[in-house]
Amino acid sequence: MIIDSPANILIIRLSAIGDVINVLPSLRLLRTHFPKSRITWLVEDRAKEILTDHPDIDEVIIYPRKKWQSNILKIHTSLKVISEALSFYKKLRRNHYDLVIDFQGNLKSAVMNLITGSDNRFGFGKGHCKEFNYLSTQCHAYPVGRKIHRIEKNLSLIGELGIEPLFMRPELPVTKENKEYISMFINNNTTNPSLPIILIHPGTSKFGSFKQWSPKNYSLLANMILEKYEVNIIFTWGPGELNTVKEIIKSMKYKALPACKTDSIKQLIELIRLSSLFIGGDTGPLHIASIMNIPVVGIYGPKDPITYGPYNGKAIVIKKDIPCSPCRKRTCGDPKCMTTIIPDDVFCGVERLLLHQNTMTLNTQS
């Protein structure tokens, strides 16, 4: 279905950071074809920062799910939550969107679709969404095959608008203040700021802890890199992960650094932008590095990298051929898909990427 120059567009992708990142190429394509349209993005509070001040977005509407869930059962805040929710839904309705594009594809986004009252609601068809979401949309995309990268799946939805679904690298803007903050950290804390930076992100969200490689393995891997190459290794971390990073660094033979505290995801984006290589599991930071075309070594276990892996030509995925992987489990008592990956496996991937970079120098002092 072709829609000519919609004046008011709503994108729905509520969470999480990696999933929001995977919609950004579709946003870039949408903005390119509809330069005069007003584009609004509906997102949950935990993923809002990636969209704040984005040049392709006119407005970001925050769906404060976490805040409402924590306060709805409290006597002194429940009425306020109900009032806020009613105002929120009324705003969605009165904005009169000419086009709603639902990249989320579940019950939550289905509710949002219907509340808008738009006559043009696009989403994924039966078999490609969850919780009967397709009943809330009128125009459906049916991506070819179930094993398709999330970026390509999202682009297929844009294709239903009559736009050729070509990948366009999105922008991830960072303020001057954030650039200066990261630059100061590197200049003041690295022995030689001119050396290439390798970022290692050992953490995962609590929800995805089963995807985490062991701290000991990260320590051994970092030693192997520093044994051979003259680089700065910086371990990035999120909430609750600093102690793990300190544990890794303390057990190392060579010097590595914990990253500075990143008060915003924009600061992390800038740190990633300055790196020559990113190493980590299936997390939001990995997808940020990938979309920025930073060389990536991804350590994958339960998730299928064909669908959830890094999306650039400078990426190597380390994954073991385990009969039970990939899987859809949320917990696992014996995650062999991760424990059977050893530091040598990942180091081989690192070397393959470093050998293609002229900026890397062999460590002659080891």
Mean pLDDT, residues 147-175 taken together: 96
User: According to the model, what pLDDT value does residue 61 have?
Assistant: 97
Mean pLDDT, residues 39-46 taken together: 95
| pTM greater than the 0.85 cutoff | yes
Count of CB atoms within 10 A of residue 182's CB?
Answer: 23
Residue 366 pLDDT exceeds 50: no
- Give which of 168, 41, 53 is closest to 101, Cα–Cα: 41
Q: Which residues contact 242 (CB under 8 A, 6 or more apart)?
A: 258
For residues 153 and 182, membership in a common domain is answered with no
Structural domain count of the chain: 2
User: According to the model, what pLDDT value does residue 35 have?
Assistant: 96
Give the domain extent around 14: 8-159
| Of 35-39, 123-127, 209-213, the least confident | 209-213
Mean pLDDT, residues 48-73 taken together: 93
User: According to the model, what pLDDT value does residue 365 have?
Assistant: 52
Confidence of residue 199 (pLDDT cuts 50, 70, 90): very high
Residue 364 pLDDT exceeds 90: no
Mean pLDDT, residues 199-208 taken together: 84
pLDDT per residue as tens digits for the range 88-102 = 999 999 999 999 999
Q: Give the integer Cα–Cα distance in Å for 64 and 15.
A: 11
pLDDT per residue as tens digits for the range 323-363 = 999 998 878 888 999 999 999 999 999 999 998 776 566 77
For residues 228 and 334, membership in a common domain is answered with yes
Question: Which residue among 112, 132, 159 closes a domain?
Answer: 159
For residues 260 and 190, membership in a common domain is answered with yes
For residue 244, tell me if it sits in a domain. Answer: yes
- Exposed/middle/buried for residue 331 (C-beta within 10 Å: 0-12, 13-18, 19+): exposed
- Give which of 289, 258, 277, 271 is closest to 359, Cα–Cα: 277
Question: Which residue among 133, 159, 185 closes a domain?
Answer: 159
For residues 131 and 195, membership in a common domain is answered with no
Mean pLDDT, residues 198-215 taken together: 86
Mean pLDDT, residues 166-181 taken together: 96
Residue 260 belongs to domain with CATH number: 3.40.50.2000
For residue 168, tell me if it sits in a domain. Answer: no
